[in-house]
Amino acid sequence: MAIGTISDTVELTAGASTTIKAAAVNDEWIIHNIYIDDGMSVSVEFGDGTNFIDVDTITESMLSYYFHVTYTNYIRLTNNEASTIYVGYDGVQIL
């Protein structure tokens, strides 16, 4: 088992969404932080691509969490703003 770090920053236009998911079928990621600019609104959901659970609507970064995601169960972030925003995340990858 190998462990590495993962991170990314994504530009989201108004109403657009992105996913945070492991890159391969047998990988698992543990997401520790989700970054957004204070005051911006982002929906956080957890699901399998068909069914999603509303976790929270955030207006500031979520720091020091432990979201476990795989290739088939992952987080979806949706921009609730009328303008483009940036979101980021970091965590660890388990191979």
- Per-residue pLDDT tens for 30-51? 999 999 999 999 999 999 999 9
Overall pTM > 0.75: yes
Whether residue 74 is predicted with pLDDT greater than 80 in this model: the reply is: yes
Reading the block at residue 81, the tokens are: 């703003």
- CA distance linking residue 22 with residue 38, whole number of Å: 27
pLDDT of 89? 98
Reading the block at residue 35, the tokens are: 């970054």
Provide the CATH number for the domain around residue 46. 2.60.120.340
CA 12 to chain centre: 12
pLDDT of 11? 97
Per the structure, how many domains does the chain have? 1
pLDDT of 53? 98
